[in-house]
Structure 1
Amino acid sequence: METNATTPENLNIFEKAENYTKTSLELVKLKTVSASADVLSTLVSKIAVGAVVAIFTMFLNVGISLWLGMLLGAYYYGFFAMALFYLLVALILHRNQHRWIKTPIGNLIISSILRDKDTDLK
């Protein structure tokens, strides 16, 4: 005859397994919240800095355009010169986008992910 009775030792093991599962789930939740907060705070700070840099760049470009226009004899010539400059910059960036932008950013993301996994294991 087999007995299906659970002994106190079995209950203790089940309780420990249940507690371990709950604790592991809570740890995953906390790590997710921490990672989300880190990503969000980094994103917000970079957007704020980017907005200030964009405004600075815009005013700098308008100033340079007006100055060039004054030197060239008509203000719109300065704006045409700046537009030509940015067209050349765009063409150069487009030609070298994989080498200068895509590959370094991809490597940065991969190293960031792997660094996070390494710190989680310690």
Structure 2
Amino acid sequence: MKATIWHNPKCGTSRKTLAILEERDDVELTVVEYLKNPPSREKLAQLYSDMGITPCEGLRIRGTDATERGLTGADANTVLEAMESDPILIERPIVETEKGAAICRPQEKVLDLL
């Protein structure tokens, strides 16, 4: 099975999720350090659609200035634009497989995608 993780190596949950994926022999893994290579706004919209959540629900609040910027109540286009230009606003880690996509918090949530 193919899996892609949008990963932040400084994040403990992201590292733990990555470790779960790396331990699996049946996973062909692509790791994207999203702070260095952010997903496009179109890719983000597709991921959130696949998750069944709004971009605002995928917004990282902790450790960001999202609240101060008024993003917590903003429309989808505004949030996606902010995430594309400042990827620290993307809640992590996101994992995508043929079974769907999820923000893997807690990290065990990745098992639902395998």
The structure whose Rg is larger is 1
Greater helix proportion? 1
TM over 0.5: no
* TM-score interval, normalised by the smaller of the two chains: under 0.3
**Normalising by the residue count of structure 1, what TM-score does the alignment of the two structures yield?**
0.18
Structure with higher RCO (Cα < 8 A, 6+ apart): 2
Greater strand proportion? 2
**Normalising by the residue count of structure 2, what TM-score does the alignment of the two structures yield?**
0.18
